[in-house]
Amino acid sequence: MGTLGLLSPRSFAWRSNLGPEQKEVAHFHHELLNKVKSCVTGDKINAIMHKNAQETAQLQPPHKYVPWLVIDGQHVEDYGDDLLGYICARYKGTKPAGCRGSNRANVCLNE
């Protein structure tokens, strides 16, 4: 059984050691899980992945590792420790809400 099989409501809720609240959530999100499964296995995602592969193959210089960050057609390595700030500083047009002010959250996994 693949990962998507594990996400099916039946196996997720009834064949696991989840508590009653988690089973209830799985039951009520059956439709959402089906939409996710449909999205990640359908023709649309295949077309998107194919397009991304073609664009990756055309990168100049060719990518050497992942993630290979490209902004405005240029490979970027030196953005310091603030990728969002780097992008916001170069954003053309009205800045999105995430770029405005100094209220941007500094989020670290272990803090």
Question: Could you report the per-residue pLDDT of 14-29, keeping only the tens digit for each?
Answer: 445 667 777 777 776 7
Query: Could you tell me if 70 and 105 lie in one domain?
Result: yes
Length of the chain, in residues:
111
Stretches in the chain below the pLDDT threshold 70: 1-18, 28, 101-111
Whether 7 and 33 have beta carbons less than 8 Å apart is answered as yes
Q: b/e string for 32-67 if b means 16 or more Cβ within 10 A?
A: eeeeeeeeeeeeeeeeeeeeeeeeeeeeeeeeeeee
Residues 54, 7, single domain; the answer is yes
Task: Tell me which residue range forms the domain holding 85.
Answer: 60-111
Q: For residue 96, give the DSSP letter.
A: P
How many domains is the chain partitioned into structurally? 2
Q: Which of 37, 58, 79 is the last residue of a domain?
A: 58
Last residue in a domain, options 20, 37, 58 = 58
* Tokens found for residue 82: 């603030």
Q: Are residues 52 and 75 in the same domain?
A: no
Q: What amino acid is encoded at 33 in this protein?
A: L
